[in-house]
């Protein structure tokens, strides 16, 4: 009886975990433009999904077959008002780009990007979301994961990138409320703080 009860409870836990983590496949499908790394523009019907985030497909008007492009062949692509950019994270050597979306003001010197992929669970056949947020700091070409140890300790490392804004640097260095990131800071809170810093840094340049 105890064994049966245990199996029932385990089944409920498994179903609960599946429900909590399951997501439908994210698909982007519609008319748009792909810009290749050499500047060539290709218009047509674009298809992209988050479980195969390293490539994008396009069907050019008048053609029947889709053409596939890997991320290292594409500079950017757009569908409607959604734009994906090929950017390279810090620590990656060579053509190691990923497709990201800009989630901060494009005019800011500090930019924040979202990298969203889905991995399919082979047991339950649902998709698991994986989200990484990257920051592009002034005069830096590559992106840095906001969880990267390269930015730890935050109050010492980040001010080096924005030394020309002394007032903001002082807030971060002194760990003032709303400008402090520690080991236990949640991802959502980190994102909120980086967005605030990006805005304040921009305001200091006006």
Residue 48 is assigned to a structural domain of this protein: yes
Q: Which domain holds residue 184?
A: 147-206
What local confidence, expressed as pLDDT, does residue 15 receive?
A: 34
What local confidence, expressed as pLDDT, does residue 149 receive?
A: 94
Is pLDDT of 12 > 60? no
Domain stop point among 99, 119, 145: 145
Q: Count how many domains the chain has.
A: 2
Closest CA to 38 of 76, 80, 89, 81: 76
Q: Do 182 and 204 lie in a common domain?
A: yes
DSSP 85: E
Closest CA to 83 of 101, 69, 105, 67: 101
Is pLDDT of 2 > 90? no
pTM score: 0.85
Confidence category of residue 166, pLDDT binned at 50, 70, 90? very high
Distance, CA of 147 to CA of 59 (rounded, Å): 37
What local confidence, expressed as pLDDT, does residue 24 receive?
A: 82
Is pLDDT of 5 > 60? no
* End-to-end C-alpha distance for the chain, whole angstroms: 72
Residue 3 is assigned to a structural domain of this protein: no
């Amino acid at each position: 009886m105890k064994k049966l009860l245990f199996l029932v409870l385990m089944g409920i836990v498994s179903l609960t975990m599946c429900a909590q983590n399951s997501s439908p496949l994210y698909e982007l499908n519609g008319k748009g433009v792909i810009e290749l790394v050499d500047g060539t523009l290709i218009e047509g019907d674009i298809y992209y999904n988050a479980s195969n985030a390293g490539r994008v497909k396009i069907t050019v008007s008048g053609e029947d077959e889709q053409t596939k492009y890997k991320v290292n062949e594409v500079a950017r692509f757009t569908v409607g008002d959604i734009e994906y950019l090929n950017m390279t994270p810090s620590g990656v050597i060579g053509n190691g780009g990923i497709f990201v979306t800009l989630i901060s003001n494009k005019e800011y010197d500090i930019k924040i990007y979202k990298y969203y992929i889905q991995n399919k669970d082979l047991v339950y056949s649902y998709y698991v979301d994986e989200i990484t947020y990257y920051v592009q700091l002034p005069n830096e070409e590559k992106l840095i994961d906001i969880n990267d140890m390269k930015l730890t300790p935050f109050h010492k490392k980040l001010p080096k990138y924005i030394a020309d804004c002394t007032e903001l640097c002082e807030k971060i260095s002194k760990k003032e409320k709303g400008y402090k990131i520690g080991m236990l800071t949640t991802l959502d809170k980190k994102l909120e703080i980086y967005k605030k810093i990006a805005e304040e840094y921009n305001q200091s340049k006006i």
